[in-house]
Amino acid sequence: MLFDCPAPAGHASVVDSQGRAHFCSELNISRHLTRLKLNEHQAWLGLNSLMTLSYAYWNTRVRRIPHSIPCAKARAVQTRRRFRRGLVRGDPPSLKSLAVCALAFAMIWLTLLSYTSLTPPADNIEQLTWLNSLEWGYYKHPPLPTWIIWLPAMLFGVQAGTSYAVGAVVTLGSVCLLWRLLCGLHGRQYAAVACAAVLCITYYNGRLYYYNHDVVLMLLATASALFCWRASSTGLLRWWVALGVSLGLGALTKYQVVVTGTCVIVFWVWQRGWRDQGQRTGLLLCILIAFLIFAPHVEWLRTHEFAPVAYSLDTVAAPIVGNGRRWESAVAWIADQLFNRALPAWLLLMSVGCLRARIPFVKLGRASSSPKTVDSSKVFLLIWGLIPLAFVSVMSIMLGTQLQSHWGASFLLFVVPAGMELMAPRRWWGQVPARALIIAFVTIQAILLLVNYLTSPRGPVSLRDTHWRAFDSTTLAQRLEGPIHQATAGERICIISGPPELAGALALRLPDHPLVLIDGRLDRSPWISAAQLATCNVLEVREKPEVPRPKLSPFLPSLTWCVRRGVPPGSRTTATDVCALTASGQQ
């Protein structure tokens, strides 16, 4: 160990054979050299060792080092200088620095999104409603996302902020897994550029506070990609086991996991895995483990008339007629994913290319890797980046499925490394200076933050959108609180019945925090028993069927509400009903 701090007062400064400055007591050096018959180089080495041992003794025994403050200041200066040199040379960021950046990214975006959203996203409300009963399945989706949010909700409360934090953790966890995968393939600098571009995709910044099945599936799909690469490259069974677990959990999240399984099979076939006994055994073991994890949900589906499957079919009802219209729908969906949702990511990559030419950097040597590894990694990234989009598009063309825009959220992050492989050689991305990346990333994020604010309910009136976040559920709950209190004579509302989004939003805002009876149906609300429904005060909210659903506003002009006691919602009995109309500007 050599000292790099400046010499304190009263000591002589010396320089070793490598040009580094040290300090020692004022000695008659020449006299001692003559007595010990040592040359100058040997003397300095011995003196260095002596001072190192002395420093260690004082640091561990006495713990009072009078020169610790100057040393700390010197180390801080050296750290800042190394950081500045790293920005110019393009030194790859460390995991600690990426964690700090991710935390800052989450805090900035969650603060803005919490401020600009008058109502939590409908998917967050759905999960906060379902966690009242842990089941093996629900009427819309498999159960895993609800299981995940249950513990944080029990610890921090069933509130919107809990779902925001869990959604951000899961999303950023997916990005971290992608960073880990790309680090093993092409190095940390390449991974940093790709992850910065991924965070510019609108799914992963403006929807950072979303917590739904797509978000959890993205985490498991990214984990599956990581395990798939390690299983195929190492042949170890433990990675095949991990891949089977991630695929099984993905099946408990959303049936769209079949896209992830398709990517695994395509890469296995490309590698001719059937020729290797270990690859064949690993794939069979992976499939077996995934099926065992998914089996309890299959039994639940059988006993519940395959309700999620029926819901999935209902969401894609009214199939597109005509091959021309099907192709047009598929092309429009791909264009929306690549050139609308992912447009900021491409802008960042192009901006990095422009700034790279203006900032000096140190040319890095070519990484030593076999041609087979290079080809395999490129094909792997292309498969995971292109197969999901192609799979969904082919399904739409063949079945006439009405494509939903959010179906690409779980897999769009893989498009970025696939695009990087096609845009430029990977050594080019490994030489991008950190300063260029930071400038481009901060600029694009600032623009996205500004756009999000201007189009929110807090922005200028002329620029506000009419999305669900503009629905002022808090004000509506406050307007309903007084009349409901009068109708129930001060008794507590235990259940609120109605559409899941509206009823769930009001349940979060009302002081009684009632349970939600989804669409007035007990089969969709396993957390409510028939006995509860027969004895509790039930608030029924709905929109008048003869009035078309208007654009979301602070109030729903066609909203009606009724308080019922001991009468199932939808009953014709009106003896205990207290009903009113809540219209815009009236009580």
pLDDT of the residue at 553: 42
Q: pLDDT band at 466, cuts 50/70/90?
A: confident
- The predicted-structure confidence for 103-134, as pLDDT tens digits, reads as follows 999 999 999 999 999 999 999 999 999 999 99
pLDDT of the residue at 9: 44
Question: How do beta strands 493-498 and 537-543 pair?
Answer: parallel
- The predicted-structure confidence for 275-303, as pLDDT tens digits, reads as follows 999 999 999 999 999 999 999 999 999 99
Q: What is the SS3 assignment for 408?
A: helix
Is pLDDT of 534 > 50? yes
To the nearest whole percent, how much of the chain has pLDDT over 70? 73
- The predicted-structure confidence for 365-416, as pLDDT tens digits, reads as follows 444 444 444 479 999 999 999 999 999 999 888 888 888 889 999 999 999 9
pLDDT of the residue at 24: 44
Q: What is the SS3 assignment for 559?
A: strand
pLDDT of the residue at 502: 92
Lowest mean pLDDT of 418-422, 430-434, 495-499, name the range.
Answer: 430-434
| Mean pLDDT on 180-209 | 94
Residue 282, Cβ neighbours under 10 Å: how many?
24
| Mean pLDDT on 226-247 | 95
Q: What Å distances lie between residue 476 and 85, 472, 492, 539, CA to CA?
A: 56, 6, 18, 14
Helix, strand, coil in percent for the chain, rounding step 5: 65, 5, 30
Burial readout 424-448 (b: 16 or more C-beta within 10 A, e: otherwise): eebeebbbbbbbbbbbbbeebbeeb
Q: Tell me phi and psi for residue 542, to 5 degrees.
A: -165, 170
Give the amino acid at 486. Q
Mean pLDDT of the chain: 81
Question: Per the confidence metrics, is the pTM higher than 0.75?
Answer: yes
Q: What Å distances lie between residue 317 and 142, 390, 392, 402, 549, CA to CA?
A: 20, 21, 16, 7, 20
